[in-house]
Amino acid sequence: MSFPEALSRHCPRFQIAIELVGRRWNGVILLALARGATRYGELRDDVPGLSERLLAQRLRELEEAGVVAREVTPTTPVQIRYTLTESGAALVEAMRPLMAWADRWAAPPADQSAT
């Protein structure tokens, strides 16, 4: 049995959480929401390199997971705001030690090491 299989067998909730945070762009989207970005355009601007299609997909996934809430205001034009749920805010807090570890130990990608 591989390590991921053993881990998921013994810690299924941990596996769900780590896959949610580890999915490409999800962590950055959650951090943008924690910093106060709420509208789609703000999120798109806060996460350069993320396509609009993929941003929409990831927001739906995070909403389905219960960590992001989507609020629609029926105005002209329709206004949509995204916020962290209580669960999402707790997840961001859980990510902070990982961010501290990354600041100390993770090497930047080769194309960003000079910045």
The span from the CA of 85 to the CA of 65, in Å, is 10
Q: How many CA atoms lie within 13 A of 15 on its CB side?
A: 10
> What's the CA gap between 111 and 63, in Å, rounded?
33
pLDDT digits (tens, 9 = 90+) for 37-57: 899 999 999 998 999 999 999
Q: What is the mean pLDDT of residues 14-18?
A: 86
pLDDT of residue 44: 93
| Cα distance between residue 54 and residue 47, in whole Å | 11
Taking 80 as the threshold, does the pLDDT of residue 5 lie above it? no
Alpha-carbon distance of 113 to 115, in angstroms, equals: 6
Q: Within a 10 A sphere around the Cβ of 21, how many other Cβ atoms?
A: 16
Whole-model pTM: value is: 0.82
pLDDT at position 80: 94
